[in-house]
């Protein structure tokens, strides 16, 4: 059945407009009608209607360990000490745990204003790397969580082969990630089968974990798989990683990737934190998406992405929640801008045409859609009906119009200003709350209770 939404104010590709009607059919935006006062009685009325961005990078299972790694464990903590704790946590996770955790993560994403997620999925196997009867068992759990919550899904099975650039074997928790190419292909095919059953807007892509975890030959082979689908890779996240790759490859990670791989618009380079000016320009002109996760990057002490110069070069970026330590669309955008301000000792660093909030929001819509291979990111006919509505009665938005609404949401408000979210026309958040939150939260609590008792 068609749905009709009526917005008092909406952000369209042409700019802000008042009294806009949007008709949704088969999950897509069928029509956008301006100043139509003859709406059917069944029309749903909202205050401020926006395109809902995609979360381009998530490791859903890590949400269950959020807040548990904030204690110093050595002289200087870093990503690498955090990773050691993450591997210990992996020893306790079962397939049904993964579904319960992912479902709650996706509820939180939807309530934060995301309509779709790119799940960078490398937790493939049982303890010690033992195969499940179904090699795509863990992908099936992610697919089930997407069905349960109604989020748009781009599932990205990850190739993970070694423990470092020195080709050392996987060990400990890493064994649950590991695949040689034949095993990975079986897993990928199984994942494609289960994701095809989720919804018409769900899809898959391919990912390689990093230059640390995948050798040159295997990375080349992986990048040639499913060339009509997204391809994602972690890159240049940590200073130690840059030093390691430089020693083993004779170039820094992004320099090597741009020189040796056909990096283009289907690629998403996740983090890309440590870049030279030449690499910034090279990545921007490649057309690839820089996948930024500012809250996680701040939490892990990764460093600050060169967003200002990257955007000046015409680069495309989007945001994701990565470790899911804190799930907030407005928080990711705010942290991205604040990182630039702290580094440059300036304000409105990423602003274009006046409004910083508008610049950040437009970038997240565009980059997220490209990274997920999803026709979304704009309120226009033919796009998936990925939409988010804001409550203009929220104190942060009181009396505001146009781009100032975005500025105030991102820099002065929080997720409480979100009233409704649609993912491919599925009205999954109503009055600020996911329609299945209670049952999904209950399942998540049970998992947390068991994991935290171990």
Q: CA-to-CA distance for 204 and 202, rounded, in angstroms?
A: 7
Alpha-carbon dihedral sign for residues 67, 72, 74, 75: positive
Smallest CA-to-CA distance from 121 within 82, 160, 64 is with 160
Question: Closest Cα to residue 233, out of 214, 260, 256, 259?
Answer: 214
Catalytic entry in 59, 121, 271, 274: 271
**DSSP strand E in 160-313: where?**
203-204, 206-208, 231-235, 267-271, 289-292
The pair of structure tokens assigned to 206 is 């391919």
Find the helix packing angle between 95-112 and 137-149, rounded to 10°: 40
Query: Any catalytic annotation for residue 209?
Result: no
* CA-based end-to-end distance of the chain: 48
Structure tokens at 319: 């945001």
Where residue 46 falls (left for φ over 0; alpha for ψ -120 to 50; beta otherwise) is: beta
- 322: annotated active-site residue: yes
CA dist., res. 148 & res. 104, Å (int): 10
Catalytic one among 47, 201, 302, 322? 322
Q: How many residues does the chain have?
A: 454
3-state secondary structure 166-183: CCCCCCHHHHHCCCCHHH
Positions marked active-site:
271, 322
């Amino acid at each position: 059945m068609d749905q009709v939404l009526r917005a008092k104010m909406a952000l369209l590709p042409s700019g802000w407009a008042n009294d806009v009607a949007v008709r949704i059919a088969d999950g897509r935006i069928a029509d956008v009608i301006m100043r139509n006062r003859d709406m059917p009685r069944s029309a749903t009325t909202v205050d401020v209607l926006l395109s809902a961005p995609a979360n381009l990078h998530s490791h859903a299972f890590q949400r269950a360990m959020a807040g548990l790694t904030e204690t110093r464990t050595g002289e200087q903590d870093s990503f690498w000490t955090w990773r050691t704790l993450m591997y210990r946590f992996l020893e306790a996770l079962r397939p049904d745990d993964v579904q319960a955790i992912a479902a709650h993560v996706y509820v939180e994403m939807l309530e934060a204003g995301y309509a779709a997620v790119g799940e960078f999925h490398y937790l493939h196997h049982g303890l010690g790397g033992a195969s499940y009867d179904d090699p795509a068992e863990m992908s099936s759990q992610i697919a089930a969580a997407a069905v349960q919550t109604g989020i748009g899904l781009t599932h990205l099975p990850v190739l993970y082969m070694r423990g470092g650039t020195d080709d050392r074997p996987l060990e400990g928790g890493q064994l649950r990630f590991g695949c040689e190419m034949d095993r990975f292909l079986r897993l990928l095919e199984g994942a494609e089968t289960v994701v095809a059953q989720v919804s018409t807007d769900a899809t898959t892509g391919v990912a390689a974990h990093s230059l640390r975890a995948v050798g040159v030959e295997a990375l080349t082979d992986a990048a040639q798989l499913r060339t009509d689908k997204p391809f994602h890779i972690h890159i240049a996240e940590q200073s130690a990683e840059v030093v390691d790759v430089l020693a083993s490859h004779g170039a820094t990670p992004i320099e090597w990737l741009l020189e040796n791989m056909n990096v283009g618009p289907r690629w998403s380079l996740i983090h890309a934190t440590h870049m030279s000016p030449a690499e910034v320009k090279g990545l921007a002109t490649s057309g690839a998406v820089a996948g930024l996760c500012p809250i996680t990057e701040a939490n892990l002490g990764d460093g600050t992405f060169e967003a200002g110069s990257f955007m000046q070069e015409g680069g495309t970026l989007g945001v994701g929640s990565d470790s899911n330590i804190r799930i907030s669309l407005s928080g990711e955008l705010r942290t991205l801008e604040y990182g630039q301000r702290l580094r440059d000792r300036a304000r409105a660093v990423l602003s274009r045409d006046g409004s910083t909030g508008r610049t950040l929001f437009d970038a997240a819509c565009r980059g997220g859609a490209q990274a997920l291979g999803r026709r979304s990111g704009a309120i226009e006919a033919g796009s998936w009906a990925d939409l988010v509505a804001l409550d203009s009665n929220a104190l942060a938005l009181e009396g505001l119009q146009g781009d100032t609404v975005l500025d105030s949401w991102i820099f002065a408000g929080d997720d409480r200003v979100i009233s409704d979210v649609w993912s491919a026309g599925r009205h999954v958040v109503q009055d600020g709350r996911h329609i299945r939150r209670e049952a999904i939260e209950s399942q998540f609590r049970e998992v947390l209770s068991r994991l935290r008792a171990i």
